[in-house]
């Protein structure tokens, strides 16, 4: 009888190791001990005496309340002639089985949590694998966020631990799961990019060239922009918008490297370039500890810093003096807009966008100057 049980356990071990097969249930090694003691006509008390272990310890193993330790396995081998490695392998398989059962419970309990994410859209963007199976969605989301549980996700993105790790909290934010997904995808994209060590000096020196790209906006403008920023140690990624996450862009530091994440929301170049220069302003002015998520109210946001970044972007795109010069010409024609754009080394859309934003011209006037932002 004991030989059959041994053979069965060994078969399960081999199958699990070679074929990645995980049995639906695994017997506690106490069953082997019980059968072995019965076969040898040894009682629990006698076995305790022969092994030199306290009777309560042996009783706990027989009840499945305690595990077989390496020390016990050596003693069991001496008395029952069953190899040490068998006892330890049986215990290991049972422990792994319990862990997997616990993990399955963890997955099942997170199904409702997973439903808060725009999974289908994320799958269309190829951020996560496509599936309609609820449990698979949970597992894929755990993998996407690099967490092992719903609690791990909430600790990182919602709770106080984020003050150290993520440095902001999305706990009270509407559509927090959607925002977290967008931010996480930016981190994934950034991890695939190699860059030099960040240089504040080089980033400042690159600003005029970045403005030239903005003014001309060639077909490969985003590639040029990325390469230019990478030369100063700054990563820039485009992450498409998710439903219910009205984010224009974000800036944060991953280790010692600044990351600018842009959404291209509204697909208008004046908004895109303003957001970019705004984020660069955060990098140059506010250091590693400040995280910016544009168009989202988050705990820890600094209104003064945001205003400073706005001013930085405005001055680089079109200064106040340049704006006043345009406004002094009361009858501004389309040709004037083009001329001013060339004179101030900016894009006509920047001028139109500024005038519309300040309600100096009606929305809709000059829209032909807006260039679409088409990124993939």
Domain for residue 374, yes or no? no
345 and 229 inside one domain: yes
Q: Is residue 15 part of a domain?
A: yes
Q: Is 139 or 170 the better-scoring residue by pLDDT? A: 139
Count of domains in the chain? Answer: 3
Residues in Cβ contact with 101 at an 8 Å cutoff, skipping those fewer than 6 apart: none
- Kindly state whether residues 183 and 244 are assigned to the same domain: no
Q: What is the bridge-based pairing of β-strands 257-262 and 235-238?
A: parallel
- Residue 170's pLDDT band (boundaries 50, 70, 90)? low
Is 356:318 a contact under the CB 8 Å cutoff? no
Long-range CB contacts (within 8 A, 24+) of 196-200:
196/230, 196/231, 196/232, 196/233, 197/233, 197/256, 198/232, 198/233, 198/234, 198/256, 198/257, 198/258, 199/232, 199/233, 200/284
178 in the same domain as 236: no
Residues 231 and 336 in one domain: yes
Residues 282-299 pLDDT 10s: 999 998 888 888 877 666
Quick check: is 375 in a domain? no
| 240 plus 340 within the same structural domain | yes
Decide if 376 is inside a domain. Answer: no
By residue range, what is the domain housing residue 301? Answer: 197-369
Residues 6+ apart with CB under 8 A from 234: 195, 198, 203, 257, 258, 259, 260, 280, 283
Mean of pLDDT values over 338-344: 95
Are residues 23 and 151 located together in one domain of the fold?
A: no
Residue 76 has pLDDT above 90, yes or no: yes
The model's pLDDT over 186-245, given as tens digits with 9 standing for 90+, comes to 999 999 999 999 999 999 999 999 999 999 999 999 999 999 999 999 999 999 999 888
Predicted model pTM: 0.80
- By C-alpha distance, which of 72, 36, 31 is closest to 52? 72
Percent share of the chain, pLDDT over 70 = 89
Q: Which of 175, 190, 205 is the last residue of a domain?
A: 190
Say yes or no: 180 and 220 in one domain. Answer: no
* Nearest 10 degrees: Cα torsion 205, 207, 209, 210: 150
Do residue 356 and residue 245 come from a single domain? yes
CA 15/CA 4 separation, integer angstroms: 17
308 domain residue, yes or no: yes
Same domain, 251 and 270: yes
Domain assignment present for residue 84? The answer is yes
Q: Residue 21: its pLDDT value, please?
A: 55
Residues 316 and 253 both lie in one domain: yes
């Amino acid at each position: 009888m004991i030989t059959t049980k041994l053979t069965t356990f060994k078969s399960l071990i081999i199958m699990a190791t070679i074929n990645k097969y995980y049995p639906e249930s695994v017997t506690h090694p106490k069953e082997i001990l019980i059968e072995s003691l019965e076969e040898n006509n040894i009682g629990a008390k006698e076995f305790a005496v022969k092994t030199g272990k306290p009777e309560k310890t042996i009783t706990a193993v027989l009840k499945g309340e305690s595990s077989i330790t390496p020390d016990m396995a050596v003693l069991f081998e001496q008395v029952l002639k069953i190899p040490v490695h068998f006892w330890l392998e049986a215990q290991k398989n049972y422990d792994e089985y319990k862990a997997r059962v616990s993990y399955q419970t963890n997955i099942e309990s997170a199904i409702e949590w997973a439903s808060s994410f725009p999974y289908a859209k994320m799958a269309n963007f190829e951020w996560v694998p496509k599936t309609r199976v609820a449990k698979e969605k949970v597992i894929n989301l755990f993998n996407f966020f690099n967490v092992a549980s719903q609690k791990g996700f909430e600790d990182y993105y919602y709770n106080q631990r984020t003050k150290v790790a993520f440095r902001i909290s999305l706990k009270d934010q509407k559509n927090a799961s959607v925002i977290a997904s967008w931010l996480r995808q930016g981190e994934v994209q950034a991890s695939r990019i190699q860059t030099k060590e960040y240089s504040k000096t080089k980033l400042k020196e690159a600003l005029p060239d970045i403005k030239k790209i903005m003014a001309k906006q060639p077909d490969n403008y985003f590639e040029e922009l990325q390469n230019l920023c990478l030369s100063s140690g700054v990563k820039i990624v485009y992450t498409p918008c998710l439903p219910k996450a009205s984010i224009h862009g974000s800036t944060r530091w991953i280790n010692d490297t600044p990351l600018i994440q842009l959404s291209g929301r509204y697909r208008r170049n004046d908004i895109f370039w303003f957001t970019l220069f705004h984020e660069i302003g955060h990098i140059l002015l506010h250091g590693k500890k400040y995280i910016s998520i544009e168009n989202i109210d988050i705990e820890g946001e600094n209104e003064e810093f945001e205003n400073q970044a706005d001013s930085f972007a405005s001055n680089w795109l079109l200064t106040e003096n340049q704006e006043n010069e345009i406004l002094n010409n009361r009858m501004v024609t389309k040709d004037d807009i083009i001329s001013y754009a060339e004179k101030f080394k900016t894009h006509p859309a920047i001028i139109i966008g500024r005038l519309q934003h300040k309600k100096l011209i009606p929305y809709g006037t000059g829209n032909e100057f807006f260039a679409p932002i088409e990124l993939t």
